[in-house]
Structure 1
Amino acid sequence: MSLSIQGRTAIVTGAGHGIGRAIADHFVSLGANVMFADWDETALQVGLAQHDPDSGPVRWFSGDLSQRLTLANLLSATLDAFDRVDILVNAHRLVRETDPLEPDSEAVEEMLRHNVMGPLRLSQIVARRMIRQATDEHDPVQAGAIVNLTTLAGARPDPARMGYSIACAAQEQATRNLALVLAPRRIRVNAVRFGSVMSHELKQSLKADADLRARMLAGTPLGRIAGPDELTEVVHYLVSEGARFVTGQVLTVDGGRSLVDGVTGTVRKGLVP
């Protein structure tokens, strides 16, 4: 089984912080050409100080990834730098609290714009490029790979973050639909649904809620919070030829947290002693 992505070109959104940054750095370490994309230009510049953006396989792009023109410019910048794109990881996420009974709030629309429509549109234009590239190649297995990052919020109601919860569920369904459409073109589309992983957003939540860590550990059968690198390895597998027969799947990486009853906080009978 080959996990090599050496020489491949990847776009990773949300690469200024946390999980997106960890994925992009990991791809660089594996010899891939990587476009780091994020809205936070300062974070990109600071984070990429360890890389050489002028002579190495690394470039960065800053902008509002919910806007059509920005997405088109991101793809153009990638093609200008590397002449192709083989991998897309949609790791950019926006999390906001939502009043579930406030019809005039734009929070739900904001969550859908950033977490669903942005990744979906970027996937569409990148996939079209992958299809054009494939006409000049002879790889019968894989013309490209797309991975969307989502969370357990898509599988469980979360009234305090209703917009984000709806967006995560929608992104998972978009993953399945694109996988069906693109399978004949040899482009695979999968998602990773994570829970107990130390993301940038989780770090902020832990600072704001002193009891959150204890609750998470109690509700995670493996008894710990994973580092971003443990999610990175899963994404690496999904974009490699090792996963060449895997598409349309939502792979859960949460230390068993999805096995736990979200209401009572207890492990469901029969799963864990």
Structure 2
Amino acid sequence: MSFSIDGKTAIVTGGAHGVGLAIGLHFLEQGANVVFVDRDEEALNEELGDRAGEGSSARIFAGDLREKLTIANLLSLTIDAFDDVDILVNASRQIIKTELFDPEDDSVPVMMEQNMLASLQLSRIVAKKMIKLTPEEEVPRGAIVNISTIAARMAHPELLAYSVSNAALEQLTRSMAVALAPERIRVNAVSFGSVMSHSLHEKIKDDDEMRERVVGRTPLGRIASPRELAEAVQFLASDGAGFITGQVLTVDGGRSLLDPAACSAF
């Protein structure tokens, strides 16, 4: 059983920050070609500008994945650079608070568009490209890994829209897994908590009490590095997970087993 992704080509969204960046860098270390995608062009260039481009295994792409033309341009760049696409990691996420009684609050449609619908649209088009590029029978065509959080199963008033969008992403994972199984494309998700994401880092960097609350509600007693999440994603993307599809793997140090949802940092 091989967990290798050496030589494979991956598209990683949310690739300029936090877990998306960590996943992409880990994939590079493991020998994969990686296209880092993010709306934050400045951060992409700052983090990856000196290691991406002609002659390297990395490329950067800035754009809004809610736009169909952006997705088409992303696929063109990927195929022009590496001739193939084997792995898609939907790691782009946004968090905004919900004001339930505010009639102007639009957090639910915004979160659904950003955290679920954009992943659906990109997955649909990438899957079609995988099918076209691998016409051989009985050969695995690719793997899609969606990045969710334990907020999908928890309830916190301020995170209503965020939780709903993550829950929708997890159901999208299961539904797409069934739809794409005949095409030999696997779809799974990783749900994380108590991992040092960009958003968690911003919440706790000047708040020792918040850090202690997160650690205290994590049975393993620590906050994980993004690399630990990246290794779980690698497993699901590799041939070693060749008979796994439609599953949501939780990487949270046991936190979701006992967290009373009193803490809004994930």
Q: Give 3-state SS (helix, strand or coil) of 1:66's partner.
A: coil
Match of 2:118 in 1: 118
Give the distance between the partners of 2:52 and 2:139, measured in 1 at CA.
Answer: 33
Aligned partner letter, 2:65: L
Task: Please report how far the alpha carbon of residue 106 of structure 1 lies from its aligned counterpart in structure 2 after TM superposition.
Answer: 1.8
CA contact (8 A) 1:141 1:244 kept: no
Q: Which moved more, 1:239-248 or 1:204-213?
A: 204-213
The residue correspondences of 1:1-273 to structure 2 (distance < 5 A) are: 1-135=1-135, 137=136, 140-207=138-205, 209-262=207-260
CA distance in 1, matches of 2:51, 2:132: 30
Q: What stretches of structure 1 move > 3 A for 4+ residues in a row?
A: 207-210
Aligned partner of residue 2 in structure 1, secondary structure:
coil
Distance apart, 1:263 and its partner CA: 5.5
Contact 1:151 1:193 in 2 (8 A): yes
Q: Secondary structure at the match of 1:224?
A: coil
TM-score (norm 2): 0.95
Partner of 1:271: none
| Contact map agreement 1:146 1:188 (CA 8 A) in 2 | yes
1:270 matched residue in structure 2: none
Q: Which runs of 5+ in 1 are unaligned?
A: 266-273
Which is further off, 73-82 or 37-46? Answer: 73-82
Q: Which amino acid aligns with 2:192?
A: F
2:18–2:197 contact (8 Å) kept in structure 1? yes
**Contact in 2 for aligned 1:176/1:249 (Cα 8 Å):** yes
* Superposed CA offset, 1:245-272 (max 9, x none): 000000000000011141589xxxxxxx
Cα offset, 1:40, TM superposition:
0.7
> What does the per-residue CA deviation read over 1:32-84, in whole Å, with 9 as the maximum and x for residues that have no partner?
11101001111111111452422111111001122222222212221121122
Q: Secondary structure at the match of 2:205?
A: helix
- How many residues get paired? 263
Letter of the 1:224 counterpart:
R
Letter in structure 2 aligned against 1:207: K
TM-score (norm 1): 0.92
Distance in 2 (alpha carbons) for counterparts of 1:240 and 1:225:
26
CA distance in 2 between partners of 1:121 and 1:263 (Å): 31
- Separation (CA, whole Å) in 1 of partners of 2:169 and 2:54: 34
Q: Is the 8 A contact 1:87 1:146 kept in 2?
A: yes
CA distance in 2, matches of 1:235, 1:17: 16
Greater CA deviation, 115-124 or 94-103?
A: 94-103
Do 2:130 and 2:141's aligned partners in 1 also have CA atoms closer than 8 Å?
A: yes
**CA-CA distance at 1:103 after TM superposition:** 3.5
Per-residue Cα deviation, 1:125-156 (whole angstroms, up to 9, x for no partner): 00011111221x35x35210000000011011
Letter of the 1:163 counterpart: A
